[in-house]
Each structure stands twice: as C-alpha cells, then as structure tokens.
Structure 1
C-alpha cells in the first residue's frame, strides 16, 4: 500500500534543500534520513532523503543527488510516497490512514445512510471526508471529532453528527433530521 507522506515545496537556500508540506502524522518514521520514497510524477523519483531539519516551523529536506537550487526547484509540487504494510495502523487510536477510511459506510447517529467515503481531502486547516451519496452527488464532511464521533474500520462504517445544512446540497436546513449540533473539535489525524 502506498501513502502520500509529503509534498515538496519551494527550494530553500542554494544547496539543494527543499521545504516540504508534511502529510503524515509520523514524519520521524516516514521522512527520516535514508528513507527511499516513490514520487508523483513517477519519473522524478525515487528520491532518497539525505538529511532533514526543522527551520522556522517547516521541515526542510535534502535528497541524495540534489545539490543546487535549480535541481531543488525542479522538484517543486512533487508528492512523496511511502510504501506501507496495509495491516499497519497508527499508534494513536484516534488517527487513521486514508486506506482505512475509504469505502466506509457513512451513517448519521439515527442510522440514516449518508453514503460511502470516496476519498480524503487533506487541506492545510483540516482533513475532509469526500462522501459519495447514492444519487452520485458528493458531500464534504470535516473530519473532526465533533462531527465524526465514531470511526469503526472493522465494522465498515463511521457515524456523523452533522451540523444543520451540512448534508443538504443547497446548504439549507431540510428539517429531515440530518442536522445535529456540535462544537468545533480537534482534527483527527490521517496519512494520505
């Protein structure tokens, strides 16, 4: 199983270093020196991490064979992909890998079927579940504990308590019981 663990940003300095947008909750494991990562686009890689450090709150990496700013800048927007055992799970029980969430049935607390998780969209502020409904429409559900209080990969489902209007494609309340209250919660972690 392959997971996207980072996206390469801009070049940092003149010696081939790059900033990266980390997309894993385990950067010390996935992005450590010696790690060999596949890439998207594939023709750029594989890339081997030579060294890494944190600078001003951002991870900065150097890859074997990338020695100047031009070579580093050519890697911009490349996705870094790690090979992961499909049976592996994160240490924190509140974190999930994308492959654990995709294709789970999404239901409300009262058991009303919402749809199935088609993919996870990783945004800078939080992750979103892209849920495909039976009519082919999609709904985006913030992956926060207040809205997604129960995730059961073994049972093949997750439970949502959506705020009013979240499940209505027009953004208006329908009064059909799909809504529910809740305050903003902490983002649940997940790898790509």
Structure 2
C-alpha cells in the first residue's frame, strides 16, 4: 500500500536541502536517511533521503543527487510516497495509521449514521476526520478522546459522541426554541 508521507516545500540554503510538510505520524521511520520514496509526479523520483535534520521547527531533507538550490527548488510541491505493508500497525494500541481510518463509517453512540471518513487532516494542534455525509456535504470531527469514543477496525466504524452543533445545528436550534439559548431573532 502506498501512503503520502510528506510534501516537499521550498529550497533551504544553497546545498540542495528542502523543507518538507510532514504527513505521517512517524517521520523518524518514514523519512529516515536511506529511505527510498516514490513521488507524485512520478517523473521526480524515486528519491533516496541522504540526510535529514530539524531547523527552526521544520524538517529539512537532502536527497541523493540533489546538490544545489535549483535542483531542490525543482522538487517543490512534489509528494513523497512510502510503500507500507497494509498489515503493519503502530506500536501503541490507541494509535492508527491514516489508511486504517479512511473509509470507516462514522456513527454516533446512539447509532445515527454521520457519514464516512474520506481524509485525515493533520493540524498543528490536533487531527481532524474529514467526514463525507450521505448528502455529499462534509463535517470535520476532531480526533480527540472526548469526541471519538471508539475505533472498531473489525466493524469498520468510528463511534463518536459529538457536542451539540458539531455534526448538525439541530441541537442548537432546539436549545433556542426551548428558550435556553439565543435565537436568530435575538441577534441585532
């Protein structure tokens, strides 16, 4: 199975290093020196990582054969793709690879179908499930313990306990109708 593990950013310095936007929870494994990565577009690779280091909070990589700024800049926006065994699992039982979560059905604790996970968005503060609803719209569900109650890989589902207003505004409307919240008419 192939997984996108990073996107190459701008060149750094004059010796062929590039910044990378990491898209894996295990950069020390997937982006280590010696790793050979496929690329998108395919014409840019495969690329073999020669060195890696962190500078000012950003991961910098240098690839074999890329020796100057111009060659590094030519790789900008290239996706780096690792070959991963589909049976491979993270060491921690509460961790998951993106490919394990994509296409899981998302349901509430009371069984209401919310949709299907189509993407995992890795933000600096937390990860988000991008969930496609049956009507084609999307909802973003924070992948945090308080909201994601269970991941069941056997049943291929994620069970969530969303706070009011996260997956729809029905609870917010009900609160307003009960007089417990502000109604749209109260706004000036």
Bin for the TM-score computed over the shorter chain: 0.7 to 0.9
Q: 1:124 to 1:31 in 2, by over 3 A?
A: same
Q: What per-residue deviation string (whole Å, max 9, x for no partner) do you get for residues 135-173 of structure 1?
A: 2222221222221121111221111111211111x6872
Asked which structure has the greater RCO (Cα within 8 Å, sep 6+), the reply is 1
Shift of 1:133: 1.9
- Measured in 2, the distance between the counterparts of 1:78 and 1:127 equals 23
2:136 aligned counterpart, secondary structure: coil
- Measured in 1, the distance between the counterparts of 2:23 and 2:38 equals 15
Work out whether 1:65 is the aligned partner of 2:65: yes
Shift of 1:128: 1.9
**TM-score normalised by L of structure 2:** 0.85
Please report the RMSD computed on the Cα atoms of aligned residues, expressed in angstroms.
1.9
Q: Could you say which residue in structure 2 is the equivalent of 1:179?
A: none
Q: Could you say which residue in structure 2 is the equivalent of 1:99?
A: 99
- Measured in 1, the distance between the counterparts of 2:174 and 2:105 equals 23
Shift of 1:174: 4.3
Q: Could you say which residue in structure 1 is the equivalent of 2:136?
A: 136
Structure number with higher helix proportion: 2
- Measured in 2, the distance between the counterparts of 1:49 and 1:131 equals 34
Q: What per-residue deviation string (whole Å, max 9, x for no partner) do you get for residues 30-62 of structure 1?
A: 111111101112211111101111222221111
2:172 aligned counterpart, secondary structure: coil
| Equivalent residues in 2 for 1:106-185, closer than 5 Å | 106-168=106-168, 173-175=172-174
5+ residue gaps in structure 1?
177-192
Q: 1:90 to 1:175 in 2, by over 3 A?
A: farther
| Aligned residues between the structures | 175
Shift of 1:75: 1.2
Which segment is superposed worse, 49-58 or 10-19?
Answer: 49-58
**TM-score normalised by L of structure 1:** 0.83
Work out whether 1:36 is the aligned partner of 2:36: yes
